């Protein structure tokens, strides 16, 4: 197994050093406040670099610019060609570091998207993702339509990005790993009631896919909502390599070892679950059974996903959280 390398202070030749910023939960209502929060994120990119000269990637939580108000005002929404993303690109170039950032993205055709970006140290967007599973009924965001992308990150690591509630669905981390992700980032704005589920899903997403996970929430209070911080790194056997506290703006650092992920995926027999999922019972059957025995998968492909208790589900739109019932149907 790998270790944290004392937060990257003792980097191994194959190591990738990642910093998770437990960003202070902001309250952003106006364009001026959005600009100020953008500058705050930029400042913390610099702090992360000064904190650890070996750091390859700095990761900011979901809602780093917009906080937890769920405001959808067009005046504070972002776009890929807007000043906020331009500032992130410039910070990555200035400090010679990769960065993972969160924006609420303007969508002329409907509700905004909750989007994540990975930007390299040359200021180029290498991964662009729209959250597939908004945290309903609380969040108003448009369901994502870009799938689960993977990119090649610093020092050759294959990176995936899922956002907050995404990580509660095992299919999300599985999709990222299936596409080759060795380290799965998870950015979030979760609050304390989700603490236990946060921890066990970060661990299970790692173990079930022989991946490493690096996950971080906002931290502290905006005067209304309290986020929990709790950045954590998990190894591919599900053990926790390093974890943060509840201190806002703390940067949690760990050396990840994608080389050991690759080794395990090739050499493990027992519990090589991501391989065995598609090769059932290979001891008895050459190559294993490669059918799809899962009813829910077939039903979803046909657009017929329906639970046995579907008609009894009571919360099926955002009205409990003050949102009007939607009138549009989804078009993929």
Q: What is the pLDDT of residues 6-25, one digit of tens each?
A: 777 788 899 999 999 999 99
304 part of a folded domain? no
pLDDT attached to residue 192: 83
Per the CB < 8 A criterion, the answer to whether 240 and 83 are in contact is no
261 part of a folded domain? yes
- Number of domains observed in the structure of the chain: 1
Mean pLDDT, residues 309-320 taken together: 97
Q: CA 328, 80, 134: angle at the middle one, nearest 5?
A: 40
Provide the pairing of β-strand 113-119 with 98-105.
antiparallel
44 part of a folded domain? yes
pLDDT attached to residue 225: 83
Q: Tell me the C-alpha distance between 251 and 57, whole Å.
A: 12
Whether the pLDDT of residue 2 is over 70: the answer is no
Per the CB < 8 A criterion, the answer to whether 191 and 227 are in contact is yes
Mean pLDDT, residues 187-200 taken together: 93
Q: Tell me the C-alpha distance between 161 and 242, whole Å.
A: 19
Catalytic site residue 62?
A: yes
Q: Tell me the C-alpha distance between 40 and 64, whole Å.
A: 10
pLDDT attached to residue 1: 45
306 part of a folded domain? no
301 part of a folded domain? no
Query: How does DSSP classify residue 226?
Result: E
| CB-count exposure of residue 106 (10 Å: 0-12, 13-18, 19+) | middle
Average pLDDT, the chain: 95
267 part of a folded domain? yes
Whether the pLDDT of residue 141 is over 90: the answer is yes
124 part of a folded domain? yes
Q: Tell me the C-alpha distance between 199 and 270, whole Å.
A: 24
Enclosing H/E stretch for 95: helix 83-95
* DSSP-based three-state secondary structure for 294: coil
For the chain, the helix, strand and coil percentages under 3-state DSSP, each to the nearest 5? 30, 25, 45
pLDDT attached to residue 245: 84
Q: What is the pLDDT of residues 72-115, one digit of tens each?
A: 999 999 999 999 999 999 999 999 999 999 999 999 989 999 99
Mean pLDDT, residues 164-188 taken together: 98
Q: Tell me the C-alpha distance between 287 and 308, whole Å.
A: 34
Q: Name the catalytic one among 92, 164, 217, 219.
A: 164
Provide the pairing of β-strand 150-152 with 158-163.
antiparallel
Q: The whole model's pTM is what?
A: 0.96
Q: CA 154, 149, 272: angle at the middle one, nearest 5?
A: 80
Mean pLDDT, residues 199-224 taken together: 96
pLDDT band at 195 (very low <50, low <70, confident <90, very high): very high
Whether the pLDDT of residue 5 is over 70: the answer is yes
Q: Which residues contact 32 (CB under 8 A, 6 or more apart)?
A: none
Q: Tell me the C-alpha distance between 85 and 102, whole Å.
A: 9
pLDDT attached to residue 332: 78
314 part of a folded domain? no
Q: Tell me the C-alpha distance between 36 and 313, whole Å.
A: 42
Q: Could you count the other beta carbons within 10 Å of the beta carbon of residue 142? A: 18
**Range name among 1-10, 48-57, 103-112 with the lowest pLDDT average:** 1-10
Domain extent for 123: 5-276
Query: 265: alpha, beta or left, given left = phi > 0 and alpha = psi -120 to 50?
Result: alpha
pLDDT attached to residue 68: 95
pLDDT attached to residue 7: 72
Mean pLDDT, residues 149-172 taken together: 98
pLDDT attached to residue 3: 63
Q: What is the pLDDT of residues 262-308, one digit of tens each?
A: 999 999 999 999 999 999 999 999 999 999 999 999 999 999 999 99
> Any idea how long the chain is?
332
Q: Tell me the C-alpha distance between 265 and 237, whole Å.
A: 11
Q: How far out from the chain centre does Cα 266 lie?
A: 25
- Percent of all residues in the chain with a pLDDT value above 90, rounded to a whole number: 90
Whether the pLDDT of residue 190 is over 50: the answer is yes
pLDDT band at 216 (very low <50, low <70, confident <90, very high): very high
Catalytic site residue 131?
A: yes
**CATH number (domain holding residue 98):** 3.60.110.10
Per the CB < 8 A criterion, the answer to whether 233 and 18 are in contact is yes
pLDDT attached to residue 102: 98
Query: 288: alpha, beta or left, given left = phi > 0 and alpha = psi -120 to 50?
Result: left
């Amino acid at each position: 197994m790998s270790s944290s390398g004392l937060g990257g202070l003792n980097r191994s030749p194959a190591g990738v050093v990642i910093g998770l910023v437990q960003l202070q939960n902001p309250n952003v209502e106006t364009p001026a406040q959005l600009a100020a929060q953008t500058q705050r994120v930029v400042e913390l990119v610099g702090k992360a670099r000064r904190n650890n000269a070996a750091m390859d990637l700095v990761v900011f939580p979901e809602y780093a610019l917009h906080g937890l108000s769920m405001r959808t005002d067009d005046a504070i929404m972002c776009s890929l060609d807007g000043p906020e993303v331009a500032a992130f690109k410039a910070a990555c170039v200035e400090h010679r570091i990769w960065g993972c950032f969160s924006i609420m993205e303007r969508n002329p055709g409907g509700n905004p998207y909750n989007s994540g970006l990975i930007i390299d140290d040359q200021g180029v967007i290498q991964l662009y993702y729209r959250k597939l599973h908004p945290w309903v009924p609380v969040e108003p965001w448009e369901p994502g339509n870009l799938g689960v992308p993977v990119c090649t990150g610093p020092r050759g690591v294959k990176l995936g990005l899922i956002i907050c509630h995404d990580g509660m669905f095992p299919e999300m981390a599985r999709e990222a790993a299936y596409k080759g992700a060795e380290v799965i980032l998870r950015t979030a704005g979760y609050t304390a009631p989700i603490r236990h589920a946060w921890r066990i899903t970060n661990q299970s997403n790692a173990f079930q896919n022989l991946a490493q996970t690096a996950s971080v929430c906002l931290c502290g209070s905006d005067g209304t909502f309290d986020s929990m911080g709790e950045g954590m790194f998990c190894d591919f056997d599900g053990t926790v390599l390093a974890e943060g506290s509840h201190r806002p703006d703390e940067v949690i650092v760990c050396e990840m070892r994608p080389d050991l992920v690759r080794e395990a995926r090739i050499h493990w027999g027992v519990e090589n679950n991501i391989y065995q999922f598609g090769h059932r019972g290979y001891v008895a059957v050459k190559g294993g059974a490669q059918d799809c025995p899962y009813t829910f998968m077939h039903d979803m492909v046909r657009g017929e996903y329906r639970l046995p208790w579907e008609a009894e589900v009571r919360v099926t739109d955002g009205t409990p959280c003050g949102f009007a019932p939607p009138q549009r149907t989804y078009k993929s």
